[in-house]
Amino acid sequence: MKQSLNWKVFSGQLLKHGIKLEEINQAFGVTRYSQNDYSVEVLSQDLLQKFINIINSHSVKSRTAASHRGNSHAVNVDGALLVSNIANNDVPYNHLFSKGRDVDTPVKQHCLIIENLECFLAFNRTFEFAKNYCDVEIDIDDVEFVWAAGNSISNALIIPYLKKFQGKVMCLFDIDLGGLIIYSNLLKAGLEPSNTKYLIPSDIQTRLKNSNRKATAKELNALSPIFGLSETTNQIITLIRHYNSTLEQETYRYEL
């Protein structure tokens, strides 16, 4: 059977899927008519079926299929872990989330999400900082402390658990583009803005003024799409632009 098609594009896609050039040449007989027009004849139905199977397996959105392509990291994991802790507990514990698994019920009324790992591990002192500087008036025994692990906290499998908290979901993030993106992703995923609080130190202006961590032009431009999300994010963005600087929560550790 002969078909006319753009052979360069077609063969390029086969190579892109990991099919060897030698097998492509064995499977098809090719006659060129013009720059982009070729006559292609299938010489081996077995190889053609093999190519179809390979392409179909590549279209499966699973890490198993992706591993055959050598890029499993490009596909989301089928589950998620949430590292947490509570007062008077020495060792952090994990929540496991996966499709088809019942979502855990929070053990505490409120949640404090901490972006920085060092601050999370020292959650008792981090909470004292939040009470002293971030207008937090909640008892530590009513709080579950959660490590954000970057933007992993906004994983679609974790969001239903965060929605189950009856009280506040407090977010201790960096005062920068990264922190704002994590917070905006949480709101976009369905957390209520009224119950999801981005913690800002009461002396934030002094901290930004004295910060040596300057905001780049690229970072400042990237803030625009986030502006208007909430009053809190607007306040943070305005201050970052005014002082042309950002703040890592790692700096809070000097006061812990």
The tokens of 224 are what?
């625009």
Q: Which residue intervals of the chain are DSSP H helices? A: 7-16, 21-27, 45-59, 63-69, 117-121, 123-133, 159-163, 177-188, 204-210, 217-222, 231-243
Rg for the chain, CA atoms, rounded? 26
User: Where does the pLDDT of residue 75 fall: very low under 50, low under 70, confident under 90, or very high at 90 and above?
Assistant: very low
pLDDT averaged over the chain? 86
Tell me: the pLDDT tens digits for 133-190?
A: 999 999 999 999 999 988 899 999 999 999 999 999 999 999 999 999 999 999 999 9
- From 208, 214, 94, select the one nearest 146 (Cα to Cα): 94
CA distance 119 to 137: 19
Classify domain 80-255 by CATH number: 3.40.1360.10
User: Where does the pLDDT of residue 76 fall: very low under 50, low under 70, confident under 90, or very high at 90 and above?
Assistant: low
pTM of this structure: 0.71
- From 192, 210, 212, select the one nearest 201 (Cα to Cα): 210
pLDDT at residue number 73: 46
The domain spans of the chain are 2-71, 80-255
